[in-house]
């Protein structure tokens, strides 16, 4: 979770790890419709949430279903992740989260940085 103060200082509850990956996402209410998943560029991820670049503004409070793929990792039967460092091994994380903030990207003004707080995992 990201807390923003008036001073512009950010205080994170979880350490974030930068990743050059993509996230596929859809709104929870669209999961059973023909609305396709959209792609976003993952900027960073932590145990509490993630930030990605989206082409559109997602409303605050929107519930998202997200799919992330991590090359070189595998999910073990006990739920722990193992770093295999083999590119063909791809760990898939399916998560549910809530949009907690949105801002125009400074590096890509036609995109929106979207902060999402995890609220659950999807096991299927």
The average pLDDT across 66-84 equals 87
pTM of the model: 0.77
87: left (phi over 0), alpha (psi -120 to 50) or beta: alpha
Helix, strand, coil % over all residues of the chain, rounded to 5: 0, 55, 40
Tens of pLDDT, residues 20-65: 689 999 999 998 888 899 999 999 988 899 999 999 999 999 999 9
As assigned by CATH, the class of the 12-121 domain is mainly beta
Tens of pLDDT, residues 87-116: 888 888 899 999 999 999 999 999 999 999
């Amino acid at each position: 979770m990201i807390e923003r103060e008036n001073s512009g200082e950010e205080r994170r509850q979880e350490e974030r790890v930068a990743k050059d990956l993509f996230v596929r996402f859809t709104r929870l209410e669209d999961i059973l419709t023909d609305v396709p998943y959209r792609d976003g560029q993952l900027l960073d991820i932590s145990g509490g949430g993630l930030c990605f670049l989206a082409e559109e503004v997602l409303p605050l409070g929107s519930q998202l279903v997200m799919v992330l793929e991590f090359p070189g990792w595998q999910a073990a039967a006990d739920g722990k992740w193992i770093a295999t460092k083999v590119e063909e091994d791809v760990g898939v994380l399916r998560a549910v989260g809530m949009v907690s903030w949105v801002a125009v990207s400074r590096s890509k003004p036609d995109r929106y940085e979207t902060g999402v707080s995890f609220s659950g995992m999807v096991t299927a």
